[in-house]
Amino acid sequence: MIMEGKKGLIIGVANNRSIAYGIAKACKNQGADLILTYQNDKLKTRVEKVAKELDVKNIYPLDVSKPEEITALKEAIEKDYGKIDFLVHSVAFAPRVALDGKFINTTKEAFNIAMEISVFSLIEVVQKLEPVLNDGASILTLTYLGSQRYIPHYNVMGVAKAALEASVRYLAVDLGEREIRINALSAGPIKTLAASGIGDFSEILKYNEKNSPLRKNVTIEEVGNSAMYLLSDLSSGVTAEVHYVDSGYNIMG
Ligand code: 0WD
């Protein structure tokens, strides 16, 4: 059991199609003790269901745009668990209008929201939760190839993911002092709630399936297993990395 004895917080489960759910399940199957959060009351029942299935004792409210909720979460973890060994940030958001049409029309408001929820949230969560992370802990965030290349409709989210990947590199140096690692997992396209906001998403899925070396799309189980490797001691020499789990699509010209 690779995750036996490890406690971890997973942020970003919206339902049982979420990438974060795939990661939670993989970690649970290998013996991890999990803590989950829910963004708001609307999503609470779904997260409760997942918590029951994965034998999770506590779920906590966390809207990453509310600093007081991040602080409250840190205090709750400290009280209920002491320290934790891994942390998953699987959260992103941009206003729907910004994920269709032309990038050139991005408004300052959409830009700021995308950067706040999808990038700054990682920095703030790590900043505020660092005291409850054990030395040698592992942090993982989720990114997408749209950070490196033009992907139709991904627009402002591509810019946000580029900033997210750069943030991982800068955080890695600060956290490395305590042997805490941080990596990004770049997943291929998967049909989730968040993905449904991206224009022509089903076309992207079909194109990737046809054109990736493995000729298939990845599943949340595959992403979950690779994520578990990055969260476990098996990857103790890996930090500041962007790891592609995309059927190899990123190498195609
Ligand atoms: O193809 C995909 N689905 C890919 C997703 C390919 C590559 C990367 N990713 C990334 C996303 O950009 C995101 O960072 O994976 C991460 C997880 O996304 P997901 O699993 O595709 O989507 P979903 O199941 O919707 O989970 C994302 C959740 C939100 O769901 P909705 O759809 O309701 O926004 O992020 C959470 C929320 O639960 N979230 C927040 N959590 C706390 N505070 C906030 C917030 N303010 N905003 C969104």
Say yes or no: CB of residue 196 within 6 Å of ligand 1. Answer: no
For the stretch 114-127, what's the b/e string if a residue is b when 16 or more beta carbons lie within 10 angstroms of its beta carbon?
bbebbbbbbebbbe
| CA 104 / ligand 1 centre spacing (Å) | 24
User: Does a structural domain hold residue 252?
Assistant: no
User: Does a structural domain hold residue 146?
Assistant: yes
Say yes or no: CB of residue 93 within 6 Å of ligand 1. Answer: yes
User: Does a structural domain hold residue 224?
Assistant: yes
Say yes or no: CB of residue 14 within 6 Å of ligand 1. Answer: yes
**How many CA atoms are closer than 13 Å to the CA of 126, on its beta-carbon side?**
25
Q: What is the pLDDT of residue 100?
A: 85
Q: What is the pLDDT of residue 248?
A: 98
Say yes or no: CB of residue 65 within 6 Å of ligand 1. Answer: yes
Q: What is the pLDDT of residue 198?
A: 82
Selecting among 21, 38, 144, 244, the annotated active-site residue is 144
User: Does a structural domain hold residue 251?
Assistant: no
Domains in the chain: how many in total? Answer: 1
Q: What is the pLDDT of residue 211?
A: 98
Q: What is the pLDDT of residue 183?
A: 99
Atom 24 of ligand 1 has which residue's CA nearest to it?
A: 18
Atom 17 of ligand 1 has which residue's CA nearest to it?
A: 90
Can you tell me the ipTM of this complex?
0.97
User: Does a structural domain hold residue 213?
Assistant: yes
Say yes or no: CB of residue 194 within 6 Å of ligand 1. Answer: yes
User: Does a structural domain hold residue 151?
Assistant: yes
Q: What is the pLDDT of residue 197?
A: 82
Ligand 1 pocket test: which of 13, 19, 147, 243 has the largest number of ligand atoms within 8 Å of its C-beta? 19
User: Domain of 205?
Assistant: 7-246
Give yes or no for a contact between 188 and 247, defined as CB atoms under 8 angstroms apart: yes
207 is catalytic: no
Say yes or no: CB of residue 190 within 6 Å of ligand 1. Answer: yes
User: Does a structural domain hold residue 173?
Assistant: yes
| pLDDT by position in tens, the chain (length 253) | 999 999 999 999 999 999 999 999 999 999 999 999 999 999 999 999 999 999 999 999 999 999 999 999 999 999 999 999 999 999 999 999 999 889 999 999 999 999 999 999 999 999 999 999 999 999 999 999 999 999 999 999 999 999 999 999 999 999 999 999 999 999 999 999 989 888 789 999 999 999 999 999 999 999 999 999 999 999 999 999 999 999 999 999 8
Pairing of strands 84-89, 7-11: parallel
From residue 109, how far is each of 17, 112, 115, 118, 243 by CA, in Å? 29, 5, 10, 14, 31
Taking each helix axis from N to C end, the angle separating 155-176 and 121-129, rounded to the nearest 10 degrees, works out to 20
Give yes or no for a contact between 17 and 193, defined as CB atoms under 8 angstroms apart: yes
60 is catalytic: no
Q: What is the CATH number of the domain that holds 40?
A: 3.40.50.720
User: Does a structural domain hold residue 196?
Assistant: yes
Atom 11 of ligand 1 has which residue's CA nearest to it?
A: 92
Of the candidates 170, 115, 119, 173, the one whose C-alpha atom is nearest the C-alpha of residue 141 is 119
